Chain A
Amino acid sequence: MRGIRQGWILAGLTAIEIVRQPVCLLLTITAVAACLLSPLTLMHNFGEDGKLARDGGLAFHFLFGLFLAAQASATALHRELQSGTAAAILSKPVNRMVFFLAKCGGVAVVLVGFSAAVTMATLLATRTAEVFLMTRQYVGYVMDWRTGIMALAAIPAAVATAARLNYRTRRSFTSSAFVMLLVYLACVVVYALLMDRHGRFAPLASPLEWRILGVSYLVLLALLILSVFTVTVSTRLPAGPTLLAASALVIAGLVSDYLFGSRLSSPAFARLGYAIIPNWQNFWMADALNAGGRISYPYLTGATVYAACMITALLGIGLLTFERTETR
Chain B
Amino acid sequence: MTQPAQTDPVVEVRGLHKVFRDFWHRPKVRALDGITFDIGPGEVFGLLGPNGSGKSTTIKILLGLLHPSEGSVQVLGCPPTSVSAKQDIGYLPEESYLYRYLTPRETLRFYGRLFDLPTPVLDTRTRELLDMVGLPHAANRPVGEFSKGMSRRIGIAQALINDPRLVILDEPTSGLDPLVQQTVLELDAGRSRI
- The residues of A with any CB-CB pair to B shorter than 8 Å are 2, 5-6, 9, 13, 16-17, 20, 83-85, 87-95, 170, 172, 324, 326-328
Of all A-B residue pairs in the complex, the 8 with the closest CB atoms, nearest first, are A84-B97, A91-B91, A327-B65, A93-B86, A88-B97, A91-B63, A92-B114, A85-B97
B: contact size bracket: 20 to 34
Residues from chain A with Cβ under 8 Å of B111 in the complex: 92
Q: Which residue from B66, B87, B93, B101 sits with its C-beta under 8 Å from A88?
A: B93
Show 11 A/B contacts (Cβ-Cβ < 8 Å), sorted by A: A2-B116, A9-B113, A13-B110, A17-B101, A87-B60, A90-B63, A91-B89, A92-B91, A93-B86, A94-B86, A170-B142
Check B97–A87 contact: CB distance below 8 A: yes
Q: Are A324 and B67 in contact (CB under 8 A)?
A: yes
In the complex, which of the residues A16, A84, A85, A94 contacts B83, with contact meaning CB atoms closer than 8 Å? A94
Residues of the A chain whose Cβ atoms lie less than 8 Å from the Cβ of B67: 324, 326
Which A residues lie within 8 Å of B95 (CB)? 84
Could you say which of A5, A13, A327 contacts B116, with CB atoms under 8 Å apart? Answer: A5
Say yes or no: B97 contacts A20, CB within 8 Å: no
Tell me the nearest residue of chain A to B95, going by C-beta.
A84
Q: Is the CB of B63 within 8 A of A172?
A: no
Cβ of B11 to closest chain A Cβ, rounded Å:
14
B65 and A6 within 8 A (CB): no
Q: Does B37 lie at the interface of the complex (its beta carbon under 8 Å from any beta carbon of A)?
A: no
Contact A90 B114 (CB under 8 A): no
Q: How many contacting A-B pairs (Cβ < 8 A)?
A: 70
Chain B residues with Cβ below 8 Å from A327 are 60, 65-66
Chain B 55-98 interface mask (CB, 8 Å, partner A; 1/0) = 00000100111110000000000000001101101010101011
Q: B84: which A residues are within 8 A, CB to CB? A: 93
Closest to A9 in B: B113
Partner of A92, one of B86, B99, B101: B86
By a CB distance below 8 angstroms, the chain A residues around B116 are 2, 5
B114 x A6 contact (CB < 8 A): yes
B115 at the interface (CB under 8 A from A): yes
Distance in Å: Cβ of B192 to nearest Cβ of chain A: 16
Contact A90 B64 (CB under 8 A): yes
> Across the interface, which residues of A come within 8 angstroms of B113, CB to CB?
5-6, 9
Chain A proximity mask over B153-173: 1 for CB below 8 Å, otherwise 0: 000001000100000000000
Q: With A and B bound together, what is the CA distance between A220 and B154 in angstroms?
A: 39
What residues on B are CB-neighbors of A83 within 8 Å? Answer: 97
Tell which of B60, B66, B67, B83 has the most Cβ of chain A within 10 Å: B83
